[in-house]
Every structure is written in C-alpha cells, then in structure tokens.
Amino acid sequence: MTEFSRAEVCAAAIADAFKDDGEIFASPMGMLPMLGVRLAKLTSNPDLVISDGESLFLGGVPPLFAKADVVEGWIPFRRVFDVVAYGKRHVMMGATQVDKHGNQNISAIGDFAQPKRQLLGSRGAPGNTVNNRTSYWVPKHNTRVFVEQVDIVSGVGPARAKAAGPGASKYNDIHRIVTNLGVFDVKGADDTVRLLSVHPGVTVDEVVENTGFALEIPTDVPVTREPTESELMIIRNVLDPKNLRDREVPPVASTDAGASK
Amino acid sequence: MSKPRTKVMTIDEVVAQLSDGMTIGIGGWGPRRKPMALVRAILRSDLKDLTIVSWGGADVGLLARAGKIKKLVYAFVSLDSIPLEPNFQRARQNGTIPEVVELDEGMFQTGLYAAAQRLPFLPMRAGLGSDVLVNNTWIKTVTSPYADENGDVEELTAVPALTLDVALVHMNRADAHGNATYLGPDPYFDDLFVQAADQAFVTCEQIVDTAGLTVDTAVQRLLISRMAVTGVVETPNGAHFTTCTPDYERDEKFQKAYAVAAGGSDEDWAAFEERFLSGDEAAYQSAVAAFAAEEAAK
C-alpha cells in the first residue's frame, strides 16, 4: 500500500473542492490551497483559470512559487474585484475563526473597538462571500478556530446572508471547509457546519474534541479519499518537490493506517 | 509653443499644503508602491488629527505609531511577507486610533469610484450580512428600484463616497505636468485616488519629458492624467521599503528590521526612529544605504 502524508490528503481534498467548478477563476489564499488548486487543474478540472497571486493568469501550471512560462491574462487587483462581482470565481481563504453557522473571522480577536489581537482586517471576505463561491482552509483544526460564534463576521455564512435578504443570499455559496482533520460544509440543519468526511487516521471523536460547537455528524462518516498514485506523483515531483506542504501540515505517524475507526 | 504648466515641487512644499484634520488617501497597496517619502515627510511635520484612507501597509503603521491618525479607513493593513503590521496591531490593541472604519477591500474601491464620479454612494453586495455594517452603522443600505428575475427586490450596501482632501501616490515615471506611468505589474488604484481628491500629489522615481513617458512604454501604462494632479515630486527610492517594480523590489531585510523594532520594546522603536526617521529624506536614504552595506557585509 502506498504511503501518503496528511498534507497530501489535504491537497487532494482541496483539489476535490474545485473539481466541479468548470471554467472559473480559482483563487487560493495560502500554500496548501495553491497546491490543491494546481492539483485540480492537472487532474480533475483542466478548465480552471489560475493566477500567480500577483497580477497574471497563468497558461501553464508551474510548481509552487515558480514563475510562469506562459501567461494567458492580466488580473490586477481591480480586475479581481470585477471577477468577484461577475461571480466566476471560487476563493479558498484562511480563517482565524469559523463558527457553527460558517461565518469566518480574519479581522480581529475580541471586541472590535479595542481588540485583544488585531489581525489582518476583513480584506475581501465580506464581498467574496456574497458574490462568489467561497471555501476555507484551516491547517490547525482546534477549538480556538472552531468557535460557537466568531468575534467579528468577515466572511458571511448562509444564515446571516439569508437574514440580510436576497441581495446577500442569492450568490452566497460557502462550499467547503477543509482542515487537517476533515472536510465540512455548511449544509447542516439551520445552515450549520456539517462533517462530510474525516481524513485517513482521524477519528470522529478527534474532530469533535477539537471543535468548539456541536457539529452535525451523519450516522456513517466516510473517510476522505486517499490521494491516487498519479496525484502523489504530481504533488511530489511536479508541484511541490521541496515538500513545503509538510511545513504547513506536519506528517502524522498513523496516517498510513488508512482507516478512521 | 505653449505648454501646460509645470507642477514640479519639493516634498516639503507638498507637506506645507496639508493641514490638521485633513482626509488623506494614500495610494499603492499594502507594502507595494507606497508614497513613503511623503509619509516620512508627514512624520517629520507637526500635522495631526489626520483621517487616513489606505489599503494599508507600513504607511498606516508609521503614521499610527507617530500618533498622527485620528480616523483610519482601511480594509487590511499588512506587510505581505510579514502578514500582521506590528505598529498597526499595537495601535489597535492599545486603542490609540480614536476612530476606525474597516471596510471590505472591494467596498473601498467602490467608495473611491463614487468619490471620483461625484456620487454620494454606489451600490454593491459587499458588506451585507457582515460586521462591516454592524461596526459602521453610518453605512446604510439602499433598496433596488427594480425587481430581480425572481421578483425579489434586493437591498444592497450603499457604499459611501470616500471623498479625499488630498491624494498621495508614488509612480515610476511622471512628466513635469503630472502625467504619470506605472511600470510594474499592477496599477493598484492610484488613478482613482487622485480623482477622488481635491488635491493630488504624485511622487515618482524619475521626472522625464512628456515624450519620454511612452518611449519603450505602452501608452496603456499612462495611468494618471495631469488634469487630476496638483504637484509632482521626483523622489528616487521614494517608495522604499515597499515595492516599486521594476525600479526596485521590496527591501525585505529593512522591512524585517522595521517589524522587529515596531514589535519590540519602546527602546527598540526609539533606536529605529533615531537611526532612520530623525532626519530629512536624504538622511533617511543614506541611513538605508548604510544599513544595506551592513547587511551585505554579514
């Protein structure tokens, strides 16, 4: 049996989040999302439009942080905002907090007026979440990230979008939350976070213990699929030969066990 | 032959045009192509109670640390390779910026568009459902006069115009009249900043003849027209330590030293200020050159 790392499982799970998107702009924020999106482009969804994260649409699929050999378009920040409003975009953002209703916070921890910890600011999260498909990547799934209620709502979950009316809800589409432990969506009862699968070697109890709210958990929780031989070849030899992925998601000893229960 | 008027001036002449309480928009994006020479000149001045409008980087951090900001309008403040700006973090956590307006970064563009088009607001979806509208109750929504395809009437964010007293931007090249090009990967929003402002000052790496602006440079890179420009200043390395591609990239070593000092003790920051920010722009540039030589010798 082929051995694979937890980071490689995450990359394949992220790739799966983009496989049915068709010909849209895939915007990964951060290293593992970039790896997953490029993996999807080389496997399940070659129609994806990807960028260098700066201002160019890439014609090819270069390794992480490499320069493009072929350019197929220009995407300065002003045009990113245009594509957000146009809707043909799927962004995977980070999240300092995610709550039961799939709201995300990257603004600040504590009271907004004088926060305990100031973070980046809300960036494009408010606009992304009411305009285009949005997913989140959480490299360290724990109870500090997964909280009952976020301190500040940057990214808008479906319940709040509905409460704000059709202007907010018609294009609100929180697709997946991928973490180092499992895969989730926000299609639980009353628009709450639901467990879709646990990664190989992870138990449902481990996920529950590391989540600060009551997750919706199906009776039979599937195991996140293992990366294929060809995906592993692409990840290891083409996209991430320097193995940067293990720095974001360190290897877990039991991952090659392949079973969750 | 008649020529348009010349607007060349000095950094100090620009700062002399500014006054306490003004709303100042700062171009660029995060740690990219920021008019840092002008920011440093403001640090040296007695100006106070400023409203700063910026997709922020060290411009915001430095002005906040110096206590110049009464009100900050931002969507993020970041140094990119150092995600959290330590001086901004410190100011927020100590509550030293009296008024704070955090917007979505697209709302910020829409607000500048509204100002540039002399409209009171423009509608967009961003903000709806998020705490941007909770923390800024003065930002209202507007109901569409048209039903959508489902017969629903949409309520949208009425993004208020971000009207500026003054815009400060840094470009790669400009002529003496205020026409200016960007030569890097992204125009950012500097054309919007200058059009959203009553007065706009353009600093640049080099002032060239008007004809020189389009020698070996596509005309599409002429982002700013002199119509919107009040003054032009040549400030070589004036975006330091932010990017000014292709003239130079971000000075990562210097940025790191800045961030360490900003995140360190009061003494650490005082030493950084003494070394780099206690003199004029020429003194700053020689201190930076000395720093670079020290780093290279390591």
pLDDT score, position A2: 78
The mean pLDDT value of chain B amounts to 97
Nearest CA among A179, A241, A240, A231 for reference residue A2: A231
Cβ within 8 Å, pair B129-A126: yes
For chain B, the first-to-last Cα distance in angstroms comes to: 56
Residue ranges of A 169-188 with Cβ closer than 8 A to chain B: 170-172
> How far apart, in whole angstroms, are the C-alpha atoms of residue B199 and residue B228?
8
Give the 3-state DSSP-derived string for chain B, with helices as H, strands as E and coil as C: CCCCCCCECCHHHHHHCCCCCCEEEECCECCECCCHHHHHHHHHCCCCCEEEEECECHHHHHHHHCCCEEEEEECCECCCCCCCCHHHHHHHHCCCCCEEEECCHHHHHHHHHHHHCCCCEEEECCCCCCHHHHHCCCCCEEEEEEECCCCCEEEEEEEECCCEEEEEEEEEEECCCCCEECCCCCCCCHHHHHHCEEEEEEEEEEECCCHHHHCCCCHHHEEECHHHCCEEEECCCCCCCCEECCCECCCHHHHHHHHHHHHCCHHHHHHHHHHHHCCCHHHHHHHHHHHHHHHHHC
Q: Is B149 on the interface with A (CB under 8 A)?
A: no
pTM: 0.96
Give the pLDDT confidence of A15-27 residue by residue, as tens digits: 999 999 999 999 9
* Residue A254 falls inside a structural domain: no
Nearest CA among B36, B186, B251, B51 for reference residue A80: B186
Nearest to B76 among A115, A120, A170 (CB): A120
pLDDT score, position A196: 98
CB B167 within 8 A of CB B27: yes
* Residue A80 falls inside a structural domain: yes
Where does the pLDDT of residue A259 fall: very low under 50, low under 70, confident under 90, or very high at 90 and above?
very low
* Residue A13 falls inside a structural domain: yes
Give the pLDDT confidence of B28-38 residue by residue, as tens digits: 999 999 999 99
Please check the confidence at residue A68 and state whether its pLDDT lies above 80: no
* Residue A256 falls inside a structural domain: no
Cβ within 8 Å, pair A165-B128: yes
Please check the confidence at residue A187 and state whether its pLDDT lies above 60: yes
Q: Is A63 on the interface with B (CB under 8 A)?
A: no
Cβ within 8 Å, pair B131-A85: no
Give φ, ψ of B113 to 5 degrees: -60, -45
- Under DSSP, the state recorded for B239 is T
CA distance B5 to chain A (A): 31
Give the pLDDT confidence of B117-172 residue by residue, as tens digits: 999 999 999 999 999 999 999 999 999 999 999 999 999 999 999 999 999 999 99
Hey, what amino acid is at B76? F
Cβ within 8 Å, pair A78-B130: no
Give the pLDDT confidence of B221-279 residue by residue, as tens digits: 999 999 999 999 999 999 999 999 999 999 999 999 999 999 999 999 999 999 999 99
Where does the pLDDT of residue B69 fall: very low under 50, low under 70, confident under 90, or very high at 90 and above?
very high
* Residue A154 falls inside a structural domain: yes
Q: Is A127 on the interface with B (CB under 8 A)?
A: yes
Q: Which residues of A touch B88 (CB under 8 A)?
A: 118
Please check the confidence at residue B54 and state whether its pLDDT lies above 60: yes
The domains located in chain B, with CATH, are 1-119+161-298 (3.40.1080.10)
Give the pLDDT confidence of B86-110 residue by residue, as tens digits: 999 999 999 999 999 999 999 999 9
Q: Is A167 on the interface with B (CB under 8 A)?
A: yes
Nearest to B77 among A116, A121, A124 (CB): A121
Give the pLDDT confidence of B178-194 residue by residue, as tens digits: 999 999 999 999 999 99
Q: Which residues of B touch A171 (CB under 8 A)?
A: 125
Q: How many CB atoms lie within 10 A of CB A63?
A: 15
Please check the confidence at residue A166 and state whether its pLDDT lies above 50: yes
- Under DSSP, the state recorded for B170 is E
Structure tokens of B230? 């009040």
**Range of the structural domain that residue A155 is part of:** 6-247
* Residue A220 falls inside a structural domain: yes
Contacts of B290 (CB under 8 A, 6+ apart): none
Nearest to A131 among B105, B125, B154 (CB): B125
CB A101 within 8 A of CB A186: yes
pLDDT score, position A251: 94
Nearest CA among B9, B52, B16, B25 for reference residue B233: B9
Q: What is the CATH number of the domain that holds A165?
A: 3.40.1080.10
* Residue A1 falls inside a structural domain: no
Residue of chain A whose alpha carbon sits nearest to that of B187: A76
pLDDT score, position A258: 44
Q: Which of A65, A71, A84, A130 to mutate to test the interface with B (most CBs of B within 10 A)?
A: A130
Q: Is B130 on the interface with A (CB under 8 A)?
A: yes
CB A67 within 8 A of CB A48: no
Please check the confidence at residue B8 and state whether its pLDDT lies above 70: yes
For range A150-176, the mean pLDDT: 98
Cβ within 8 Å, pair A126-B102: no
* Residue A51 falls inside a structural domain: yes
Q: Is A122 on the interface with B (CB under 8 A)?
A: yes
Residue of chain B whose alpha carbon sits nearest to that of A83: B106
Give the pLDDT confidence of A110-161 residue by residue, as tens digits: 999 999 999 999 999 999 999 999 999 999 999 999 999 999 999 999 999 9
Cβ within 8 Å, pair B93-A85: no
Q: Which of B125, B136, B149 to mutate to test the interface with A (most CBs of A within 10 A)?
A: B125
Nearest to B155 among A155, A165, A171 (CB): A165
Please check the confidence at residue A257 and state whether its pLDDT lies above 80: no
Please check the confidence at residue A254 and state whether its pLDDT lies above 70: no
For range A230-258, the mean pLDDT: 88
- ipTM reported for the complex, 2 dp: 0.95
How many domains are contained in chain A? Answer: 1
pLDDT score, position A256: 47
Q: How many CB atoms lie within 10 A of CB B287?
A: 16
| Dihedral angle, C-alpha B220, B223, B225, B228, nearest 10 ° | 160
Cβ within 8 Å, pair A85-B125: yes
Q: Is B189 on the interface with A (CB under 8 A)?
A: yes
Q: Which residues of A touch B150 (CB under 8 A)?
A: 166
DSSP lists the bridge partners of residue A98 as A104, A146
Percent of chain A with pLDDT over 70: 97
Nearest to B185 among A54, A112, A130 (CB): A54
pLDDT score, position A69: 80
For range B51-79, the mean pLDDT: 98
Q: Is B193 on the interface with A (CB under 8 A)?
A: no
Cβ within 8 Å, pair A167-B125: yes
